[in-house]
Chain A
Amino acid sequence: MKSGLYSFLFAMWGLIIIGGGIMVVLLGPFSIQQYGDFHWIITSGIKVTIALILVVIWILILSKLKNYIFKKELKF
């Protein structure tokens, strides 16, 4: 049981590092310039949308991982 918790912690850590990397690679260089003074708002809006999608994917992966690691314990 306890090893399962440590594995889950380690997996979450790995997901944060990888998720962060994807965020930097995807969102970092992203920019729209053709909308004059409002380009930063549009760019930020798109970044927010991508970030939210990434968070949802992250939670789904984590949920699958939780069910896999704790499949015995979660039969409450």
Chain B
Amino acid sequence: MIELIIPAIISCILAFFVVYFSTPPLIKILVKKNYTVKDMNKKENIMVARPGGISIILAIVVSEIILYGFFQLNEILAIIITTTAAFLIGYVDDRKVMGGWFKPVTLAIAALPIIFLGAYDSNLTFPLFGDVQIPLLYLGLIIFMIPITGNTINSIDVLNGVASGFMVIASFTLSICLFILQNYEIAIVSLPLGFVSLAFYKYHKIPSKIFPGDSGALTFGAMYGVIAIIGGVEIIAAIALLPAVINSFLFLASVKRVVEHRQIKGKPVEHTDDFKLKATNDKTAPVTLVRLILAGGPLTEKQVGFVIFKLAIFSGILAIITAFMMGVSL
């Protein structure tokens, strides 16, 4: 057991502190280079540094390389390659406005190393009912999973601290589930994601000093997707991600096509005089999770964030219950 605990501690400390110490200088560099965007939910004209994905990917790569030194698993290589590719895709999108097709297609390509490295098991495991063998279908699932998780996390990156805070809850839930299922090596490999998200949340929480950008959000989402595949916990991962899935589902069900948020003209949310968030009555605007939360009345940005975190904790509990149900067979 000690051979697992030491790498776990080292990688978690590195994951946390690389983000913790690299983000402040990154903010300074980004501000100096004028890589900033307006925080749309603030009354004053506040400019925030972006993208923070640089410190996120740095911490993930460093901690996973350390873990590879201990375990030499192809699964770790799959995490490093696919997550780095997702970061680069996001970085291109941060720097240059790309078409709606760009992220899904390139993220699907980024998923290929998982297949080439053989870092997956084609059995899909369901709670209570057991496994189903779907060799060909599973390859399709891998190709779809990374664009879905990447874009799902990207789609909830709408308020200060929400994407990173949500990832803290979802990724630690996934790690707990992997420990419950006694998949210890992958559980340890998954831990850096939670610690990276936690350290980044310190700078991303309201009032944000830095935004993760597409590069950060896609890095979070892609790594989460890879862990789900290599750990064989696809169903549990989907459950832990349900609030973000609902957001994407509501959005797609209302606009009825795959489209970039910036291409949508109608505004789902507006500001009250005291700068609280309020749902609009615009019928052309997409239905989103935030809009649905605000249907009950105006709330501050912080209050909306906490509602999303509570939903994430609820789905995290459902995910943990599901992990226990994996051991039960009808």
Contact = CB atoms under 8 A, between A and B. Distances in A.
Interface in A5-49: 5-6, 8-10, 12-13, 16-17, 20-21, 23-25, 27-28, 40-41, 44-45, 47-48
Most buried by A among B134, B243, B315: B134
A28 B132 CA distance: 5
Contact of A17 (B124, B315, B322): B322
Interface stretch (B90-98, B171-179, B205-213, B286-294): B286-294
B314 interface: yes
A44 B129 contact: no
B129 A12 contact: no
A21 B129 contact: yes
B128 A21 contact: yes
Contacts of A20: 126-127, 129, 235
Given A12-B242, A20-B129, A28-B130, A6 B283 contact: no
B253 A24 contact: no
Interface residues of A, number: 33
| Contact-size category for B | 35 or more
Given A5-B292, A24-B130, A73-B295, A16 B245 contact: no
A14 B287 CA distance: 23
A23 B132 contact: yes
Interface stretch (B8-16, B76-84, B193-201, B274-282): B274-282
A6 B233 CA distance: 23
A24 to B, nearest CB: 4
